[in-house]
């Protein structure tokens, strides 16, 4: 049997962290969480998740910067990252997607939409 | 100069449909939201496939409509299976001008699109509609009035703001702390319990059929689904 995909969720807002973790679990994933960006970067490097759900407005460094650092690890250079944020300015979204993100989901979000995107990211067609 | 129709889709069938239906117009195609956003200047008209690989159609409409430079009309095309009145309402709420289930009738699609183009570029406008109407429920954000079946609802200012926030974020999970931040607008001493009490009151005032649309998502918060 194939092991369950491992998903890392990074968000400093406990409610969103819990909601997103629950949705990822519903998608059949094993979930690990981090409440800050640097901890997320560390966890990514030690746990090698199959997908990362990343907030952008984090207290220590931005989600975009975290994504850049995560991608420097050759083993994570292609890990799908979905940004998950209230930031909806064209420049921000464009920058996020320009980092090669698998998706960009605005908060507050439709749980079905997030579930679909997580499933698609962990089991690409 | 002819206006440009920007079409964002990863689906060859959608691209082929648009190319055939809009023959003679200046068309530009983008395979993802990211590619469109990088090139976005705000003019013309955009045809948005709701099933993009990198972003939901409603989210992309909200991003484009929120940009000060956007004067363009925004059309959303959704897969036939993904169509729902609530999804359509959410797209219009984000600032879409038209919403079609794919494939629409090509002649009708072309006529409606030309109609929007003929009205021309207009100043960017706020995404907020003048009035929300969902069956018997009517809510006017400007007049700050709400009614069910023509009977005015007596809401406190906070309850009205709460209702408006749910209407603008329908189908999305909103947590108690987000409500405290966005509706109460302060890190007030009001806690999660205050949110629950106020929502209970709002449900009662909305009456049985609409009150039940604000559902509790255990451990997470609330979701308003019509």
What is the per-residue pLDDT for B186?
Answer: 65
Whether residue B71 sits in one domain with residue B101: yes
- Cite the DSSP H helix spans in chain B: 12-21, 33-39, 57-66, 85-94, 106-119, 157-168, 176-182, 192-211
Instruction: Enter the ipTM.
Output: 0.91
Q: Which of A15, A90, A110 sits opposite B178 (nearest CB)?
A: A15
> How many A×B Cβ pairs under 8 Å?
88
Whether residue B10 sits in one domain with residue B96: yes
Residue B198 lies in a domain: yes
- Mean pLDDT on B126-150: 80
Query: SS3 helix, strand, coil % of chain A, rounded to 5?
Result: 45, 20, 35
CA distance B109 to chain A (A): 26
Q: ω into residue B103 within 30 of 0, thus cis? A: yes
Q: Which domain holds residue B12?
A: 4-119
Tell me whether residue A109 is exposed, middle or buried, using C-beta atoms within 10 angstroms of its C-beta: 0 to 12, 13 to 18, 19 or more.
buried
- DSSP bridge pairs for B101: B78
pLDDT digits (tens, 9 = 90+) for A21-64: 999 999 999 999 999 999 999 999 999 999 999 999 998 999 99
What CATH number is given to the structural domain containing B112?
Answer: 3.40.50.2300
A121, pLDDT greater than 90: yes
Residue B91 lies in a domain: yes
B4 CB within 8 Å of a chain A CB: no
Whether residue B115 sits in one domain with residue B13: yes
Whether residue B56 sits in one domain with residue B136: no
Residue at a domain's end among B119, B140, B174: B119
Whether residue B103 sits in one domain with residue B166: no
What is the per-residue pLDDT for A125?
Answer: 59
pLDDT digits (tens, 9 = 90+) for B45-100: 999 999 999 999 999 999 998 888 888 999 999 987 777 777 888 888 888 999 99
Q: How far apart (Å, rounded) are the C-alpha atoms in residues A48 and A13? A: 23
| More confident position, A124 or A66 | A66
Give the pLDDT band of residue B127 (cuts 50, 70, 90): low
Whether this prediction's pTM lies above 0.90 is answered by: no
Which one of A90, A91, A107 makes the best mutation probe of the B interface by having the most chain B beta carbons within 10 Å? A90
Q: Under CATH, which number does the domain A6-122 receive?
A: 3.40.50.2300
């Amino acid at each position: 049997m194939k092991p369950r995909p491992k998903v890392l969720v990074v968000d400093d807002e406990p409610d969103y962290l819990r909601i997103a973790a629950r949705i990822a679990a519903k998608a059949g994933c094993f979930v690990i969480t981090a409440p800050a960006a640097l901890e997320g970067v560390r966890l990514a490097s030690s746990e090698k998740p199959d997908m990362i759900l990343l907030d952008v407005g984090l207290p220590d460094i931005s989600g975009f910067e975290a994504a850049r650092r995560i991608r420097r690890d050759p083993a994570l250079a292609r890990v799908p990252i979905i940004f998950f944020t209230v930031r909806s300015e064209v420049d921000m979204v464009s920058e996020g997607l320009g980092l090669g993100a698998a998706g960009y989901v605005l908060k507050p979000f439709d749980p079905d939409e997030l579930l679909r995107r997580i499933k698609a990211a962990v089991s690409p067609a | 100069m002819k206006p440009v129709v920007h079409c964002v889709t990863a689906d060859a069938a959608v691209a082929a449909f648009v190319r055939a239906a809009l023959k003679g117009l200046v068309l530009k195609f983008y395979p993802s939201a990211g590619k469109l956003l990088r090139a976005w200047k705000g003019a013309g008209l955009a045809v948005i496939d709701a099933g993009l690989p990198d972003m939901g159609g409603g989210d992309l409409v909200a991003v484009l409509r929120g940009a000060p430079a956007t004067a363009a009309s925004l059309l959303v095309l959704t897969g036939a299976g993904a169509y729902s009145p609530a999804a359509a309402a959410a797209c219009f709420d984000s600032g879409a001008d038209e919403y079609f289930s794919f494939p629409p009738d090509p002649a009708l699609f072309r006529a409606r699109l030309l109609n929007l183009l003929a009205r021309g570029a207009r100043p960017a406008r706020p995404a907020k509609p003048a009035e929300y109407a969902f069956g018997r429920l009517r809510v006017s954000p400007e007049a700050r009035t709400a009614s069910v079946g023509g009977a005015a609802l007596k809401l406190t200012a906070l309850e009205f703001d709460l209702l408006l926030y749910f209407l603008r974020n329908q189908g999305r999970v909103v947590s108690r702390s987000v409500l405290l931040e966005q509706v109460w607008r302060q890190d007030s001493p009001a806690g999660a319990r205050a949110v629950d009490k106020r929502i209970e009151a709002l449900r009662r005032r909305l009456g049985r059929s609409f009150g039940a649309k604000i559902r509790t998502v255990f451990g997470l918060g609330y979701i308003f689904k019509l």
